[in-house]
Structure 1
């Protein structure tokens, strides 16, 4: 029996991504399922505003072509700060590229600047692309 899991599951469970992660977007086949992962570190005082923005973004990307599904996982430390991991699964690298363009266009129309918001709220973000892998 062949089981299909995303490499993201390896990261979440084992804390490491080994040789199966794509080194860059050029390593990814344009037609293979691709997982877009963000990890945010959010100070306690920024959580409400940050979560409001993530809801807006999530609702928008759900309607884009090539979007398959998403999930979010959160953890709070003893000081009440948030670590949030968001996962968006896409039909292909090409779908992600088109989605990025549409998201940037929406941000421009709204006058929203993600980098400025992250800096203002002292939020850090790690971002990665992963391909689906048979284990």
Structure 2
């Protein structure tokens, strides 16, 4: 399953990248994030891996994040590997003429096991969750609104 989403953020690209590329800021826009543990590689660089733990409803979800490309301020590509779900995410940041930034997120999901059925029956749920994160980042970047409040 593949989809592309975008959102306009009313800030210059350098400010967007500064807020987006901060491990400390993740908890303010990724609802449910419990922890991020660096596993190996140089933090923030291509090849680095981290374990992310989220609380989703009553269950915890762990995934391994791998940075596959760092070309900031233009692009940041990641993969997320969780039980029965593999997500390839390409993030692009475009400077707009009005001084704002367009964040474009290209996502590809690959499913196995039970999640194949979920991906087939509820593809919109993945797209919706991705867009909720984008909206939460926009609110945090522009107005300082945290999902923790």
How does the TM-score come out when normalised to structure 1? 0.26
Structure with the greater relative contact order (CA < 8 A, sep ≥ 6): 1 or 2?
1
TM-score (norm 2): 0.24
Which structure carries more helix by proportion? 1
